[in-house]
């Protein structure tokens, strides 16, 4: 497609386990129209794509010149071929030609990629990465993901799986991870690991208001830490330290200008980022350290949608 034909707008699609976020986005990243439809993954990708197509046809009156679409979802997605191998949220969607299915339904060129890659691309162009060329975005939640931009391009690797920061190993023979291996970043700093850490300290007899709080959650631990609860603060110090070890490895490999931290747990902010920054100071060579900033991501839960749309722009021009 020639660049001069790209004067219209693009569709961003962020497929979650429950809902699909949709947005019609201008070429420079302004969301012109947004909406949501239920995912109902059990109906299969063709039916889900048709639901997106119906939404798009309704909205198209406001922006008739939609020229491409970007589709993001969690899981192992080969972004080069637009092929979904497996998604933890979309049961039964194994080995699905995601870009092809959406392209046929929407009659548009479609790029598909992992939602964290999409979020990283969104943050790179419109959020915490603006002005950089070498940028990394990490998402912290139940899972831990990563998206890497080198010299302005998303790094996908030979089959699309690059950036799986959550499954890099930072503790030999460490705790078991969801991927079946041991000692991964995700197994040490994901939401479940944070709750386990708090429980272990409570069982060791450390005093804390969390002892009376019934079911432990990351949010509850963060609230307690903000109120000065020493055990809760220690939970985030230990978690942030481990995050810092993982990030130090990334800094040495990629020499980024900014690493942005997003996802649900990043709401804990400096509780987790300050200890991570301290560890990085101790781990990273001084000259490299001077170049990098560790910040919170800026776009919240619209990062993937915006990134999907903007990746469509850059892919098809």
Is residue 184 close enough to count as binding Zn ion by CB under 5 A?
Answer: yes
What do you get for the CA distance between the two ends of the chain, in Å? 6
Query: What are the Cα distances from residue 97, in Å, to 8, 38, 86, 223, 239?
Result: 26, 21, 11, 43, 37
- The CB-of-236 to Zn ion minimum distance in angstroms stands at 22
Give the x/- contact pattern for Zn ion in 146-175, rule: CB under 5 A: ---------------------x--------
Out of 176, 179, 211, 253, point to the residue binding Zn ion (CB under 5 A): 179
Give the x/- contact pattern for Zn ion in 82-121, rule: CB under 5 A: ----------------------------------------
- The CB-of-145 to Zn ion minimum distance in angstroms stands at 11
- The CB-of-182 to Zn ion minimum distance in angstroms stands at 8
How many residues touch Zn ion (CB under 5 A)? 5
> Quick one: 21 or 167, whose CB is closer to Zn ion?
167
> Quick one: 82 or 145, whose CB is closer to Zn ion?
145
Query: Which segments within the chain are labelled E, that is strand?
Result: 9-15, 19-26, 31-38, 66-73, 76-78, 83-86, 110-114, 135-140, 144-150, 153-154, 258-262, 293-296
- The CB-of-175 to Zn ion minimum distance in angstroms stands at 10
The token duo for 107 is 């009659």
Q: Which of residues 193-212 bind Zn ion (CB under 5 A)?
A: none
Of 31-39, 122-130, 177-185, 194-202, which segment contacts Zn ion by CB under 5 A? 177-185
> Quick one: 126 or 167, whose CB is closer to Zn ion?
167
CB count, 10 Å around CB of 104? 14
**CA–CA dist 87, 100 (Å, integer):** 17
Query: What are the Cα distances from residue 261, in Å, to 49, 111, 157, 285?
Result: 31, 25, 22, 21
Q: Is residue 146 left, alpha or beta, with left meaning phi > 0 and alpha meaning psi from -120 to 50? A: beta
Is residue 302 close enough to count as binding Zn ion by CB under 5 A?
Answer: no
If DSSP codes are grouped into helix, strand and coil, which group holds residue 221?
helix
Is residue 185 close enough to count as binding Zn ion by CB under 5 A?
Answer: no
Query: What are the Cα distances from residue 137, in Å, to 76, 145, 146, 160, 178?
Result: 17, 8, 6, 16, 21
- The CB-of-189 to Zn ion minimum distance in angstroms stands at 12
Out of 177, 210, 235, 273, point to the residue binding Zn ion (CB under 5 A): 177
Which residues make up the interface to Zn ion (CB under 5 A)? 167, 177, 179, 181, 184
């Amino acid at each position: 497609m020639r660049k001069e034909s790209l004067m219209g707008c693009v569709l961003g699609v962020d497929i979650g386990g429950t809902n699909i976020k949709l947005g019609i986005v201008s070429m420079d990243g302004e969301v012109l129209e947004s909406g949501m439809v239920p995912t109902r993954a059990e109906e299969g990708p063709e039916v889900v794509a048709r639901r997106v197509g119906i939404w798009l046809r309704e909205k198209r009156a406001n922006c008739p010149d939609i020229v491409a679409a970007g589709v993001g979802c969690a899981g192992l997605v080969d972004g080069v071929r637009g092929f979904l191998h497996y998604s933890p949220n979309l049961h039964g969607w194994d080995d699905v030609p995601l870009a092809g299915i959406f392209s046929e339904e929407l009659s548009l060129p479609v790029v598909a990629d992992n939602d964290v890659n999409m979020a990283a691309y969104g943050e790179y162009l419109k959020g915490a990465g603006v002005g950089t060329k070498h940028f990394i975005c990490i998402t912290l939640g139940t899972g831990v993901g990563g998206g890497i931009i080198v010299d302005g391009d998303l790094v996908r690797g030979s089959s699309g799986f690059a950036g799986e920061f959550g499954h890099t190993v930072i503790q030999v023979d460490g705790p078991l991870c969801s991927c079946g291996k041991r000692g991964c970043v995700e197994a040490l700093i994901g939401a479940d690991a944070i709750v386990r850490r708090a429980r272990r300290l409570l069982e060791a007899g450390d005093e804390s208001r969390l002892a009376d709080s019934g079911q432990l959650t990351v949010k509850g631990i963060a609230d307690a830490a903000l109120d000065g609860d020493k055990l809760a603060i220690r939970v985030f110090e230990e978690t942030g330290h481990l995050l810092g070890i993982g990030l130090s490895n990334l800094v040495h490999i990629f020499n980024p200008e900014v690493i942005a931290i997003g996802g649900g747990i990043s709401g804990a902010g400096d509780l987790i980022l300050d200890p991570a920054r301290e560890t990085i100071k101790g781990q990273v060579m001084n000259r490299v350290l001077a170049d990098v900033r560790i910040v919170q991501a800026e776009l919240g839960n619209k990062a993937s949608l915006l990134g999907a749309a903007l990746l469509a722009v850059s892919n098809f021009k």
